[in-house]
Amino acid sequence: MATLTASCQPRARRRDAAEAFQAALGTRSARSTLQRAGFRTPDGALNTAYAGEYKIPPKPPKSLRLPTRKEIDKALTSWKT
């Protein structure tokens, strides 16, 4: 059994909370609730009733390319002004 120091405990609590939140979102009822509210499934599918009601194409949008390290650095630097 590992003992956490006082400085590690807040990080451990946040990690535990994040893991619990992720697990809760992975339940069937949570996924169903989120999808009825317009969130897509992990594979990009959209609830057909929601898509029809709000006239949203059920096909997932085209994925964007990931930014390069240079683009990320430029964006982060621009916020420092």
Alpha-carbon distances, residue 64 vs 9, 30, 41, 60, 61 (angstroms): 38, 27, 18, 12, 9
Q: Per residue in 13-29, pLDDT tens?
A: 999 999 999 999 989 99
Q: Which pLDDT tens digit goes with each residue over 61-80?
A: 888 999 999 999 999 998 77
- pLDDT category at 8 given cuts 50, 70, 90 is low
Question: Which residue ranges make up each domain of the chain?
Answer: 1-56
Match 């009733």 to its residue by tokens.
49
Tell whether pTM > 0.75: no
Nearest CA to 58 among 46, 68, 50?
Answer: 46
Distances (CA, A) of 52 to 37, 40, 57, 60, 66: 13, 14, 8, 14, 30
> Rounded to whole angstroms, how far apart are CA atoms 37 and 50?
7
